């Protein structure tokens, strides 16, 4: 600058510096724009992946699948043994909260099996070698025990006069059959929910037993006027597990 007037060199220099600053700003802005665009693209990919994952979760939550429900079974039992007199009728009570009958923790009661056994085998006992088989009838008394009393799978009464065991059974848990089943459901929780009710099998099991002694012809050994009878109660408990079935399309 000479005498307050800018020289041509100073003017050119100022133009160059201004141009450099402008280009520097443009490069910085361009870099920033590219960075923003790159961030948007990466974010879009992440959002897309997240949406796909959430969509699949939602699809799984409403899609019916095929499951196999397996029942891990356990059994507990107790027995009652006593002598019945001729023409005696008696009801024997078994409390389901007895420690000998309660299933393992977490297991539900599926069914109850009852066996009524005479002491006489094939018409012979050591006490009475010419004894005949006595007539025994047994039944499960319908009461407030929480069970499936109307099920067609129940055997609630039977009788025998051939020295054989009498077998009775009572279905306790709804739809329980003991074997694995195949069901449809959206997830494991839904599939297993029907098998988590531990309220079935509460109460008192009552077994009625009637005896009618068949006495042999009069003689020195004809002393048969009673029968020793054993009642065995077996409680079947179960714990359900669900396994998905892979179906190839």
Give the pLDDT confidence score for residue 40 in this predicted structure. 84
The pTM of the full predicted model, rounded to 2 decimals, is 0.70
Residue 6 and residue 77 in one domain: no
Residue 118 and residue 183 in one domain: yes
Domain assignment of residue 44, given as a range? 1-63
Alpha carbon of residue 91 to chain centroid: 33
Residue 14 and residue 120 in one domain: no
Residue 229 and residue 120 in one domain: yes
Alpha-carbon distance 36 to 50, whole Å?
Answer: 21
Give the pLDDT confidence score for residue 126 in this predicted structure. 47
Give the pLDDT confidence score for residue 238 in this predicted structure. 97
Residue 119 and residue 70 in one domain: yes
Give the pLDDT confidence score for residue 4 in this predicted structure. 54
Give the pLDDT confidence score for residue 96 in this predicted structure. 97
Residue 249, in any domain of the structure: no
Nearest 5°: the CA angle 34, 39, 41 is: 95
Q: Buried b / exposed e across 134-157, counting CB within 10 Å, b at 16+?
A: bbbbbbbeeeebebbeebeebeee
Residue 70 and residue 177 in one domain: yes
Q: Which residues of the chain have pLDDT under 70?
A: 1-29, 45, 47-62, 120-131, 215-224, 247-249
Tokens of 70: 């397996």
For the chain, what is the domain count?
2
Residue 127, in any domain of the structure: yes
């Amino acid at each position: 600058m000479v005498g307050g007037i800018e020289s041509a060199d100073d003017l050119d220099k100022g133009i160059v510096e201004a141009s450099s600053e402008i280009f520097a700003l443009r490069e910085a802005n361009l870099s920033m724009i590219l960075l923003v665009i790159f961030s948007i693209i990466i974010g879009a990919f992440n959002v897309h992946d997240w949406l796909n994952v959430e969509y699949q979760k939602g699809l799984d939550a409403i899609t019916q699948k095929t499951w196999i429900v397996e029942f891990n079974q356990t059994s507990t039992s107790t027995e009652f043994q006593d002598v019945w007199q001729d023409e005696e009728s008696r009801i024997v009570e078994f409390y389901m909260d007895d420690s000998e009958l309660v299933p393992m923790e977490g297991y539900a009661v599926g069914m109850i099996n009852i066996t009524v056994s005479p002491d006489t085998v094939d018409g012979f006992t050591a006490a009475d070698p010419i004894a005949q088989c006595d007539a025994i009838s047994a039944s499960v008394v319908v009461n407030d025990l929480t069970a499936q009393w109307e099920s067609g799978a129940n055997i609630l009464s039977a009788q025998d006069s051939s020295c054989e065991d009498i077998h009775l059974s009572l279905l306790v848990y709804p739809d329980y059959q003991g074997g694995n089943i195949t069901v449809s459901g959206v997830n494991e929780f839904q599939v297993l929910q029907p098998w988590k009710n531990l309220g079935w099998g509460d109460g008192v099991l009552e077994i009625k037993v009637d005896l009618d002694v068949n006495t042999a012809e009069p003689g020195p050994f004809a002393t048969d006027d009673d029968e020793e009878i054993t009642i065995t109660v077996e409680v079947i408990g179960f714990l359900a597990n669900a396994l998905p079935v892979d179906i190839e399309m």
